Chain A
């Protein structure tokens, strides 16, 4: 019997995959020997199927059954079932810009979308308001994923979608949205190929999207919470401060200013950055002082308390943006805002006290001014301003030292 010759398998790697050549050997058979050989082959399969699983194609025997719900074959990356939409894990922004390419190319015409509009201006925004795919009529051709210039639509690996609810197979944007990390998991090399381009395009699009438009619906709460968290991290417990005496509040502001300066120092900036940083801090302080002076010259104390309140409105949005920017930028921004606030206060004609100056400068999302303005304390305010200036100077000096050390 030809037991041994049959198990010989050569494995060759070619450009298109592995090629297995099985040498079955064909010795001359005597009468009845073919029957015995057949029995031998079957028995070998029986024996090996009891003992092992078929793991690679060069093995000719062994159980090849995959017990499906419990065991699953690893799907190839190029496996495609139905399309999904991607959104960024970090910012929650969807990659889709509603360019309608997928809707146009879809052979069974199962993709439908509406473009998002800016609620303020009514202009179209590169984001999608609603996105529908009829999975029940989708033919899984993958053309939508191929044509998408933003890599926003991809083919999913999930295939266990059978249901008795027919309408349940029309999926809206919430149902289609998947984080990029999910796609990265199922198709790592494919995503690595397009990642840089897609993320670059996404950054460009985010700039053109006002507020929360274009954020995945399931991420809105998370993003809001993140922003609120960021806001509170920058200026904790604004309500508690109302009860605190003014000079204390001002001191706090000064401390915060110090902290901000320290932050700026802690940031590992390139050496030439250090100059702009302290310069920016000084500039901000000067501008804030100027604005406050102006306000003091023109404004009345009562309306001055209103002014920061109006200015406080955009504040919750600002911190994340400020945080992500370099610190000198943030300082500049803070200074500008403080100046604006002071100017506004001045416009109202309120003689804002000098105490506004350090507060406005230290915390852009200032709730403190009302408290400060209600109880003007020149001395404390001045002290705070001086302290802030000192801190900035110190920070600049330290940074210089640090750079010298380098």
Chain B
């Protein structure tokens, strides 16, 4: 964006102003993108959950009820803003802002398309994890500032849940860090080029005749970091197709559900137990702010999950279009943006699907699930990811002679790595699931039971 502005305006403005304007434009676009998706998500969630319950959902306002969010927004804007007399005014006012701001900040580092990333941050994953943790403070502020027992209970639950589930989520993301060898979100889609399971390991045998529609020149890929090679690239080398990525994705997605307070983890706002949790004392636009924060958090977590495990904007045709050069690069960017959006919406549909199917967990079940199931699985997955990287990339010198895989082609090494990690992950999952099973109820000998 900065470059485009520079070429348009040239030297008419000082360079710092051009950069500032460019970033403002990018910010505006990203915010509109997110809020537009939020509006559609609210509509889609209501329509889809309605169909799952054999209903029709909102269909009166506008075509197919599409203007329903607008009607809701008008209602929210015109509602009275009530602050309880005993509430802490400023904390009460700031809480929605504090919970929304970090969520919006997460949008800055996600690559929305091929070459469409607002900021290239080389510690993007760390940034995302750190920033998303801040919104917990907003929830606690809301619960505490409302001076309401339900709000405080909800806030306690929310913070407990966020803190617990951040650990499996971050551990699952650590898998990605190990696989990518870095924390940049920007590189993740490029690294997930290739074909399912094998990734970008099928090399072009004939350097002259390989079609640019099928083969992409990669400067860095697992196995040979620096030499540019041509590899078979269908844009489907997503990590979710490998055992390591699959387990990491499942763990991260479940943790993301909990962080986004989606059913079955909507304990902080369990309306049948504690009214609306930390949002109990909020009305009008402040409530709407929490609502927006929640949906944009879901949106960005889905985007993060898609980028980290589902290839991000990677998909069939993107690389081919980009290889054709010229104006096709922009078409490739648009197609890649569409791929990412489609993945986000599929994940969002799964969230709605889970909401339609499962009841809410109890607090103790929630904690058990995080600490006894997800965390061990994520830890095992890190071991698998490390093995995967070492088997596919390490030379015998790096192994110190323990293992010598230098003679194998990269696709053979990938296959070996997949088999080894599959064995580890499947057996570990089975074991962890079985030790978590509820013990069988003891048989009571009824004759021995004596009434007190």
Contact = CB atoms under 8 A, between A and B. Distances in A.
Contact of A38 (B50, B358, B437): B358
Given A35-B358, A38-B358, A49 B353 contact: no
Nearest to B49: A46
Given A31-B433, A32-B433, A49 B357 contact: no
B446 interface: no
A64 B50 CA distance: 11
A63 B51 contact: yes
Nearest to A43: B353
Given A35-B358, A49-B51, A42 B353 contact: yes
B231 to A, nearest CB: 36
Interface in B409-433: 433
Contacts of B48: 46
B356 A42 contact: yes
Given A39-B353, A39-B357, A45 B433 contact: no
Contacts of B356: 42, 45-46
Nearest to A47: B51
B56 A46 contact: no
Contacts of A65: 54-56
Contacts of A49: 50-52, 54-55
B56 A41 contact: no
Interface in B52-69: 52-56
Interface residues of B, number: 16
Nearest to B53: A45
A50 interface: yes
A64 B353 contact: no
Contact of A42 (B50, B52, B55, B434): B52
Contact of B54 (A35, A39, A64): A64
A67 interface: yes
A67 B54 contact: no
A38 B263 CA distance: 14
A228 interface: no
Interface string A88-113: 00000000000000000000000000
B56 A67 contact: yes
Nearest to B57: A65
A63 B356 CA distance: 15
Contacts of A45: 51-54, 356
Interface string B27-61: 00000000000000000000010111111100000
Contacts of A61: 54
Interface of B: 48, 50-56, 353-354, 356-358, 433-434, 437
Interface of A: 31-32, 35, 38-39, 41-43, 45-46, 49-50, 54, 61-65, 67
25 contacts: A31-B433, A31-B434, A31-B437, A35-B357, A35-B358, A42-B356, A43-B353, A45-B51, A45-B52, A45-B53, A46-B51, A46-B52, A46-B353, A49-B51, A49-B52, A49-B54, A49-B55, A54-B54, A61-B54, A62-B54, A63-B51, A63-B54, A63-B55, A63-B56, A64-B55
**Can you list the 7 inter-chain pairs with the closest CB atoms, starting with the nearest?**
A49-B51, A42-B357, A38-B357, A65-B56, A42-B356, A46-B52, A46-B51
Given A31-B433, A45-B54, A63-B56, 9 more contacts: A31-B437, A35-B358, A38-B358, A41-B357, A42-B356, A46-B51, A46-B356, A49-B54, A54-B54
